[in-house]
Amino acid sequence: MTRTVGRILAESLAAHDIDLIYCVPGESYLGLTDALTDVPGIRLVVCRHEGGAGFMAAADGRMRDGRAGVVLVSRGPGVTNAMISMHTAFHDATPLVVLIGHVERKDVGRLALQEQNYSRLLSDVTKGVFEVIQPIQASEVIARAFHLAESGTPGPVAVILPEDIFDQPAEGPVVLPAVLPKSGPRSEDLDQLAEMLAQAERPLVLVGGAMASGGEQALTDLTRLAEAWTLPISPTHRRPHLFDATHPNYGGYMGIRVPKPLIEEMKKADLMICLGERLSDSISQSYTFPAAPQPQLPLVQVWPDANEIGRVWRVDLPIAADPHAVIRALLARNAPEASEGRKAWVKGLNTIHRGLLAPEWDKMEDGVNFGAVCAAMARHIPADAAVTSDAGNFSSFLHRYFPFKQSHVFLASNVGAMGSAVPMAVAAALRRPGKRAVAFVGDGGILMTGNEIATARREGVAPIIILSNNAGYGTIGMHHEGRYPGRPYDQATSLVNPDFMAWAKAFGAAAFDVQTEDDIEPALAAAFAVTDRPVVVHVRSSAVQASAWKKRTMPLPA
């Protein structure tokens, strides 16, 4: 048989080690799905909405150690539904390749059914948009897309595939993946960094994005660095698993709404090192720490792409290099003896962090305090589980009370997109067979992409979904009350929800109800006992979460 463009594209995806492709079927790319049936090793995961498919592919890009995830969508409505995942991947520096079916080449420019100009539409949420016009370029374009998505600052890349090109005969070899270059630090930069660390009494090390793709060895080396150089390590927004929260060098989570006692102590730092972190408003506490554009303390930033360093903040020592290489180079040097002041600084930050794990709080009158659920989860979840989180106030309880380990995988949308948790948990269960995947989601986000439970059922995976139901968009209500105190806001934030227990069972999922704090332990134990289907743990959460930090003692998670 003559090789077709569809076959060349399928073989090119296989050559780039793609084993999972997420999609919602569309007639604009039938020639590719047909060809995929002849290429072994690629599993097509059929989803229920392009937004869910895109979130799954973005999560896959986070779990493949620097390699891109792949989503396949149809033109027009399909790609616009999937744009939320491109926005997430762009801000999150996640490698993602988006394959988009397009109108036939002869109809371009005629306003054909669902036609759009994707170079214009996607210019602000992708690193690049490529179109396969000539059959001979099909494999070359795929290779170029993966190279761009995975190199420098990773991100999403779109490939436009006209409907009529798949069955065209094609010649030429499959273009193999490019070897991605890894930049190393300059010796003079390492000398200066070592000197700055030696002189600092109160250094603070933020670890983020680029550290997440280094694998187990990179995180082990990070722990060794913290111990050898006596450094407090603070994982950044949506990266809580990069450093063990029970380690004595853990300096607290640097994300949205850092508790006041901790952020006030952090601000006493005399040196900040951003190791594998781009920085953002969420991490910098709305551009106040470090202050933008001129930080109030010496700032070191280590990031693989020189174009990202110093884009917002003036950086005293910019190091455009692989952060793992910087860590290895520092470990190869003799660390100076830490002063008593340095030791006290690290211990002080860790003491504040540990104190925040065991607050005293009131038992809520209008529902369950969700902090109790997150603290209890530490007694049930395996150390190698994947944890996903949607956007919402409930996630603040997760980041504060759940002690993440480096053996965990954490997945979420950095830009706070609602609807990411459930599909990302499905992707984690598919990527990591035999290991648990647990999603934390609110009643707002669950009805955006919760239908992907059907995908979990189809694919035979069993994520656990912890659903916080407070019958409202709680985060928006909190902001409204803060900005316009005493003014009513229920009309703009209240929700009328379905019977979530019946809803979950309608998908074939197991369902457990938490109406009081006494229900938490038995519900979680029952949920983790189920392994053959998805599970929904419905929590009737307090709608007054702003007061949920008070007066009821919870034991420190083991």
The whole-angstrom separation of Cα 362 and Cα 370 is 12
Task: Identify the DSSP state of 29.
Answer: G
Candidates 331, 357, 87; CA nearest to 220 is 331
The answer to whether 452 and 49 have CB atoms below 8 angstroms apart is yes
164: helix, strand or coil = helix
Domain ranges of the chain: 5-165, 187-356, 358-547
The whole-angstrom separation of Cα 99 and Cα 265 is 47
Q: What's the CA angle centered on 65, arms 322 and 308, to 5 degrees? A: 40
The answer to whether 489 and 497 have CB atoms below 8 angstroms apart is no
Q: In the prediction, which pLDDT does 546 show? A: 41
The whole-angstrom separation of Cα 321 and Cα 328 is 12
From residue 122, give the alpha-carbon distance in Å to each of 56, 110, 386. 19, 20, 30
Find residue 513's DSSP bridge partners. 538
Residue written as token pair 């020189």: 306
279: helix, strand or coil = coil
The answer to whether 390 and 421 have CB atoms below 8 angstroms apart is yes
The whole-angstrom separation of Cα 80 and Cα 73 is 9
Which tokens hold the place of 373?
């659920």
Q: In the prediction, which pLDDT does 547 show? A: 36
The whole-angstrom separation of Cα 241 and Cα 73 is 31
CATH architecture of the domain formed by 358-547? 3-Layer(aba) Sandwich (3.40)
Buried b (16+ CB within 10 A) or exposed e, 500-511: beebbeebebbb
332: helix, strand or coil = coil
Sign of CA dihedral 151, 156, 160, 166: positive
Task: Identify the DSSP state of 335.
Answer: P
Cα 226–chain centre separation: 24
CATH architecture of the domain formed by 5-165? 3-Layer(aba) Sandwich (3.40)
Residue written as token pair 């379905």: 498
Per-residue pLDDT tens over the stretch 69-81: 999 999 999 999 9
- The sheet with strand 437-442 has its strands ordered as 409-412, 386-389, 437-442, 464-469, 535-540, 510-514
Q: What would you report as the CA-atom Rg of the chain, rounded to the nearest whole angstrom?
A: 24
CATH architecture of the domain formed by 187-356? 3-Layer(aba) Sandwich (3.40)
Per-residue pLDDT tens over the stretch 214-270: 788 899 999 999 999 999 999 999 999 999 999 999 999 999 889 899 999 999 999
The whole-angstrom separation of Cα 63 and Cα 45 is 17
Q: In the prediction, which pLDDT does 135 show? A: 94
Candidates 164, 169, 170, 175; CA nearest to 141 is 175
Q: In the prediction, which pLDDT does 23 show? A: 98
Q: In the prediction, which pLDDT does 554 show? A: 35
The whole-angstrom separation of Cα 415 and Cα 84 is 10
Ranges assigned E (strand) in 163-224: 203-207
Task: Identify the DSSP state of 305.
Answer: -
Q: In the prediction, which pLDDT does 16 show? A: 97
In order along its 558 residues, the chain shows pLDDT tens digits of: 578 999 999 999 999 999 999 999 998 999 999 999 999 999 999 999 999 999 999 999 999 999 999 999 999 999 999 999 999 999 999 999 999 999 888 878 888 777 788 999 999 999 999 999 999 999 999 999 999 999 999 999 999 999 999 999 988 889 999 888 888 899 999 999 999 999 999 999 999 989 888 788 899 999 999 999 999 999 999 999 999 999 999 999 999 889 899 999 999 999 999 999 999 999 999 999 999 999 999 999 999 999 999 999 999 999 999 999 999 999 999 999 999 999 999 999 999 999 887 655 567 778 898 989 999 999 999 999 999 999 988 888 899 889 999 999 999 998 889 999 999 999 999 999 999 999 999 999 999 999 999 999 999 999 999 999 998 887 887 777 778 888 878 788 888 899 999 999 999 999 999 999 999 999 999 999 999 999 999 999 987 754 333 333 333 333
Name residues whose C-beta falls within 8 Å of residue 553's C-beta, 6 or more positions apart in sequence.
358, 359, 360
Name residues whose C-beta falls within 8 Å of residue 516's C-beta, 6 or more positions apart in sequence.
368
The answer to whether 168 and 5 have CB atoms below 8 angstroms apart is yes
Q: At what angle do helices 215-229 and 323-331 cross, to 10 degrees?
A: 40
The whole-angstrom separation of Cα 36 and Cα 59 is 22
H or E segment and range at residue 101: strand 96-102
Q: In the prediction, which pLDDT does 362 show? A: 61
The whole-angstrom separation of Cα 387 and Cα 108 is 43
Q: In the prediction, which pLDDT does 148 show? A: 97
Residue written as token pair 């083991």: 558
From residue 231, give the alpha-carbon distance in Å to each of 15, 236, 332, 338, 339. 42, 15, 16, 9, 12
Q: What is the DSSP string of 464-491?
A: EEEEEE-SB-HHHHHHHHHHSTT---HH
Which tokens hold the place of 5?
């463009």
H or E segment and range at residue 128: strand 128-131
Candidates 374, 529, 408, 530; CA nearest to 462 is 530
Whole-model pTM above 0.85? yes
Torsion of the alpha carbons at 39, 43, 47 and 53, rounded to the nearest 10: -90
Q: In the prediction, which pLDDT does 360 show? A: 53
Q: Do domains 5-165 and 187-356 have the same CATH topology?
A: yes
The whole-angstrom separation of Cα 231 and Cα 489 is 45
Task: Identify the DSSP state of 541.
Answer: B
Q: In the prediction, which pLDDT does 545 show? A: 56
